[in-house]
Amino acid sequence: MEGADEFMKYRSPLVSRYASKEMAYNFSDRKKFTTWRKLWIYLAKAEKALGLPITDAQIQEMESHEANIDFAMAAEEERKLRHDVMAHVHTFAHCCPTAAPIIHLGATSCYVGDNTDLIMLRDGFDILLPKLARVIDRLANFAEKYADLPTLGFTHYQPAQLTTVGKRACLWLQDLTMDMRNLQRARDDLRFRGVKGTTGTQASFLQLFQGDHEKVEELDRMVTEMAGFKKAYLVTGQTYSRKVDIDCLSSLASLGATVHKICTDIRLLANLKEIEEPFEKEQIGSSAMPYKRNPMRAERCCSLARHLVALMADPLQTAAVQWLERTLDDSANRRISLPESFLTADIILSTLQNITEGLVVYPKVIERHIRHELPFMATENIIMAMVKAGGNRQDCHEKIRVLSQEAAAVVKQEGGDNDLLKRVQKDPYFAPILGQLDAILDPKTFIGRAPQQVTRFLSEEVRPLLEPYKAKMDVKIELEL
């Protein structure tokens, strides 16, 4: 059967199962090798402009065959030559016989290899940044909607002082805004390797231009500009410093940690039935338990986020072992770690956008949980009200302590509801404040400045960050599950 052989070999699920078309294309062979050809054209154009004997006809020939890649011929050439760049030089030269003598003139393999990697990194960030902006936007809308809905806070995953659903979302948002700035900085810090020669000294180009240093510098500047970069690294070995890869992948690994935390929180809240991720009408949560609604999207994010964080070890170790001007033990590793980091980040952000566009909140469940815990949290307020009504703090504290322990025994040992409030109402000692109990136990009096914090945080720190991405905000995610 035609195409059946693809099921006879391993396919990366990052591409076959999850990744967006644009990110999969960004690290494709088609993008890689057409970029190599573009770089050879940029080099020829700049060398011609600076006086080398290269003709318009040669450049036009190269341009007309930029996308016309014979991949079978390139593979056969690589089998013979054991060199991927020279295989593609030969393949390009085959369809550009007039330009053949000047293709790759003065360059080393890293001219196309490293410069293409830098273009892919830049373009990868350009795909990720709007996706991250959309996640932040959806979550900001959620935070705004639930800014003043009281909910139990948790420390040590034990019930703690109340917060609001919107304020908790702002904790997630704050981490994501830090990631946004990190990704933007890593993207903007990228420079081009440019035209540097075999060990970074530009010796071959100095020879081509007969010792004219200014022309060599101008060549570097022109090619860098044609590739869409504002600056090139002033010094390189044969490769650009592999610390650049650390910088890029660390921003993605940090994003992975953020997403893992957010999605773990969502999974914990799903267990409490307070918040759930979107669930399709016909979606099956469990093959054995029909009632289940598993947080599978959040679980996918956590699963992939661990991989994204783990990939960070690769560029750290690679940069550490680059001997002198370079060794080739970076190559195989980078073929895996660079694309996989961007593909994984891409999948995580698409999935998280889908989650944040459809988060379901159950206020009645949240209210019930508050009701179970609030009487214990309100004890200090009850004591204060009694003191205002003329009571003695120590006496009141002892009364509340005894009643609290009795109520706790009902909850923990008998599995009953928290009846502290009823015990307070029955005790004549508390008669002076019975009329105030409803006000004392209003959850909104326990949330402090959470709603005001949400409003200020969204207006001052979140919305301004999204301004550059306004035109790309309306893209919806149709998630393949």
Which DSSP symbol is given to 288?
S
Contacts of 261 (CB under 8 A, 6+ apart): 172, 175
Q: Return d(Cα 148, Cα 451) in angstroms, integer.
A: 5
| Ordered per-residue pLDDT tens for the chain, 481 residues | 456 677 888 889 899 888 899 999 999 999 999 999 999 999 999 999 999 999 999 999 999 999 999 999 999 998 998 888 999 999 999 999 999 999 999 999 999 999 999 999 999 999 999 999 999 999 999 999 999 999 999 999 999 899 999 999 999 999 999 999 999 999 999 999 999 999 999 999 999 999 999 999 999 999 999 999 999 999 999 999 999 999 999 999 999 999 999 999 999 999 999 999 987 655 545 445 544 578 899 999 999 999 999 999 999 999 999 999 999 999 999 999 999 999 999 999 999 999 999 999 999 999 999 988 888 888 888 888 989 988 899 989 998 889 989 988 988 898 888 888 889 888 898 888 888 888 888 999 899 999 999 999 999 999 999 999 999 998 877 665 5
C-alpha distance from residue 372 to each of 163, 441, 472 (Å): 16, 12, 44
**Which ranges of 190-242 does DSSP label H, i.e. alpha helix?**
203-208, 213-226
Please give the Cα distance from 107 to 386 (Å, whole number): 85
Q: Is residue 286 annotated as a catalytic residue, yes or no? A: yes
pTM for the whole structure: 0.91
Q: Which of 285, 280, 307 is nearest to 296 (CA)?
A: 285
Nearest to 189 by CA among 239, 229, 133: 229
Q: Identify the active-site residue in 286, 303, 331, 459.
A: 286
